[in-house]
Amino acid sequence: MYPTIYDAVKDLFGISIPFLKLLQSFGFFVAISFLISAWVFAKELARKEKLGLLKATIRKVTTGIAATSSEIASQILFGFLIGWKFISIPFLSTVFNEDPRAYMLSFEGNIYIGIAAGCAFGFWKWKSTQKNKLAESKEIEETVGAAEHIGNMTMIAALFGFLGAKIFHMLENFSDFLEAPGEMFLSFSGLTMYGGLILGGIAVLVYAKKQGFNIFHVMDACAPGLFLAYGIGRLGCQISGDGDWGIVNLAPKPGWLNFLPDWIWAYDYPNNVNQTCNPYTNPNSIEYIQAQLMCDPENIRLAAPVFPTPLYESFVNIIFFFILWSQRKKFSSPGALFCVYLIFNGLERFLVELIRVNTTLFKIGMYHVTQAEIIALCLMTLGGLGLVWTKKRAIKIL
């Protein structure tokens, strides 16, 4: 496993670049997933605008004015942080190379370089607006195409998606949250996908509604990209070995899968980012191993192989992306494509939960019910009802 991009580059190419220790593999793939899915989303928004289903918006812009004090101050602050933490790295290479992440979260840095960089950024902001300054400012109107909103939508999705993922994770592990609320909230680990999907999705739709867009067309436009984003993000889970794996799998690989490598059936995640040998690290999981397993620091791997469920989810979601992308033009009723997304998403997640390491919310008899299973069932139900509703109000648009 490659917890950071540094580990991957060093293992694959034999090159040691300490700065890459800052790039967590999971976070790197999440960032890539946002960028690629945003590109797909933008293409669909542009296509729907061309068909007349979405309309460009008009915004008023004031030109010919100098930078305000707050704008200059924000640039000074930004420049100071860049200089203090990043430009100072070559002068503090020993401290940085020891533990890059600890350096970034510490008060280490060259304050003089920070001040110089801050002044340079502030001056650049002031100078760049002075040359465009007019004797009298004027207000102009700009046409903004639907696809040009993708930057704002992506930032909103990222911000509220992260917040939603944290909130749902804290609710799922509420006892742990009560013990250390601040630590759990500020940690970049512990994210629940459905929380990000729900809160991030709602935030984007609120933005789209304020821009005057038909939210059903926006939902349809983003549906294929959501599958692609999740599929790429799950590759980050697999490559880093972040603990989001399946239950222990000691069964022999079926003969009909002999054409595949053994690690696709059962894998022990060597050098996983959690540095654990215990497949069940969460005390709230169904199959938690009570015994404290001793890990060999030179050969950290799970004590027993597990189903590599992130790999399964990645494969299935990317396949779903291609299905929706190839069939998207055949859906004539606004919202229908997104309903299909909900059904596929819920079905995939419900099935994979059967072999995933789970946190139990409650039990029905001998069956352990998880948060993801409940949400997955709700999504499938909502998607099914939505298809019926969209069919009744179907309007030929393509």
Residue 152 has a CB neighbour count (10 Å cut-off) of: 14
Instruction: Note the pLDDT of residue 282.
Output: 57
**CA–CA dist 185, 204 (Å, integer):** 23
The DSSP code for 359 is B
237 with 345, same domain: the answer is yes
**Residue 19 is assigned to a structural domain of this protein:** no
182 with 230, same domain: the answer is yes
The CA-atom distances, in angstroms, between 82 and each of 19, 78, 107, 122 are 15, 6, 13, 13
185-202 pLDDT tens trace: 666 566 777 888 899 999
Q: How many CA atoms lie within 13 A of 130 on its CB side?
A: 7
pLDDT class of 65 with cuts at 50, 70, 90: confident
Low-confidence winner among 169-183, 210-224, 244-258, 292-306 (lowest mean pLDDT): 169-183
**Residue 43 is assigned to a structural domain of this protein:** yes
**Residue 3 is assigned to a structural domain of this protein:** no
**CA–CA dist 208, 154 (Å, integer):** 12
Q: Residue range 114-141: average pLDDT?
A: 84
**Residue 241 is assigned to a structural domain of this protein:** yes
Single pTM value for the model = 0.81
Residue with tokens 């819920």: 346
157 with 195, same domain: the answer is yes
Instruction: Note the pLDDT of residue 293.
Output: 59
pLDDT class of 396 with cuts at 50, 70, 90: very low
88 with 159, same domain: the answer is no
Instruction: Note the pLDDT of residue 167.
Output: 87
* Residue 102 identity (one-letter amino acid): A
Q: Which residues share a beta bridge with 138?
A: 63
256 with 356, same domain: the answer is yes
Domain final position from 133, 163, 182: 133
pLDDT class of 397 with cuts at 50, 70, 90: very low
Residue ranges making up the domain that contains 127: 66-133
What is the chain's percent helix, strand, coil content, to nearest 5? Answer: 60, 10, 30
Contact status, residue 379 vs residue 342, Cβ threshold 8 Å? yes
**Residue 23 is assigned to a structural domain of this protein:** no
Q: What proportion of the chain, given as a percentage, has pLDDT over 70?
A: 91
The structural domain count of the chain equals 2
Q: Residue range 60-86: average pLDDT?
A: 86
Domain final position from 84, 110, 133: 133
270 with 183, same domain: the answer is yes
263 with 368, same domain: the answer is yes
42 with 72, same domain: the answer is no
**Residue 10 is assigned to a structural domain of this protein:** no
Contact status, residue 251 vs residue 222, Cβ threshold 8 Å? no
44 with 76, same domain: the answer is no
Using the predicted structure, report yes or no on whether residue 295 has a pLDDT greater than 90: no
pLDDT class of 132 with cuts at 50, 70, 90: confident
Instruction: Note the pLDDT of residue 62.
Output: 74
124 with 156, same domain: the answer is no
**Residue 293 is assigned to a structural domain of this protein:** yes
pLDDT class of 183 with cuts at 50, 70, 90: low
Domain final position from 133, 154, 173: 133
**Residue 28 is assigned to a structural domain of this protein:** no
110 with 231, same domain: the answer is no
214 with 357, same domain: the answer is yes
CA 276 to chain centre: 24
